[in-house]
Amino acid sequence: MHEDIEKTLVSEVEIAEKVAELGFNISRDYEGKDVVLVNVLKGGVIFLADLVRAIDIPITIDFMAITSYGAASQTSGVVRVLKDLDEDIEGRHVLVVEDIIDTGLTLGYLLKNLRVRGPASLSVCTLLDKSARRLLEDLPIKYKGFDVPDQFVVGYGLDYRQKYRNLPYIGVLKPEIYQKATS
C-alpha cells in the first residue's frame, strides 16, 4: 500500500496536532450549545472519529451517505442521498464534518438540503481544502485543517477506488496507479 504513494502531503503527526487544535476551537465555540456533528460517509469517518475525541463538550453525531453521479474522481454536484440523518436538526447547531472540499458542489448541495430543515446554525469543518478547484464560493467553512494543491490525494479516510482509506497519513498516488487502472 505505502509503495503506491508518491509523496506524503500531511503526516500522521501533523494530522494529530491539527485535530487537537480543531477540537479545542470547536469546544470553545460551541460551549453550552446543542450541537450535532454531521458526517458524510465514508471519506470523513476517520477524521470524525479522531475529532470527536478532541472535543470536550457534549455533542451528538449523525451520518449521511451520498453518492455523486459521474466518474469517481470528478463531481457534478448532483448527488443522491443514500442514507439520511437519523435525528431532527431543527433548532440545533449543525457542524458538517468533511474530509475534503474540492469544487464545493457536493457540499453546496448538502448544505441546501440541510438548511431547509431549520437548524439554529449551519457551519462546516473540513480537514482538507483544495481551493484551486473551487466553483462554489460563500461556503460557511468555519474550521479548516490544511490547504492541499490540485492533486488527487488519498489516505486518512480518502480513497481511490475504495482503497487507501486506512493509510494513517495523506499522500499523493503514483501516476502509474491511475494509468494501470485506465489502461
Residues interacting with ligand 5GP, by CB under 6 A?
A: 43, 75, 77, 99-107, 130, 152-154, 158-160
Q: SS3 for 135?
A: coil
Least spacing, CB of residue 60 vs ligand 5GP, in Å: 22
Which CB, 92 or 126, lies closer to ligand 5GP?
126
Q: Nearest distance from residue 131's CB to ligand 5GP, in Å?
A: 10
**Residue (30 or 46) nearer to ligand 5GP, CB:** 46
List active site positions. Answer: 102
**Cβ at position 22, least distance to ligand 5GP in Å:** 18
End-to-end CA distance of the chain: 20
Closest residue by Cα to residue 65 from 49, 46, 42: 42
Q: How far apart are CA 24 and CA 62, in angstroms?
A: 20
C-beta of 26 vs 173, nearer to ligand 5GP = 173
Q: Work out whether the CA dihedral 156, 161, 162, 167 comes out positive or negative.
A: negative
Which residue lies nearer to ligand 5GP by CB, 39 or 106? Answer: 106
Minimum distance from residue 154 beta carbon to ligand 5GP (Å): 5
Half-sphere exposure at residue 163, Cβ-oriented, CA atoms within 13 angstroms: 9
- Which of 68, 70, 69, 122 is CA-nearest to residue 100? 68
| Whether 154 contacts 164, CB under 8 Å | yes
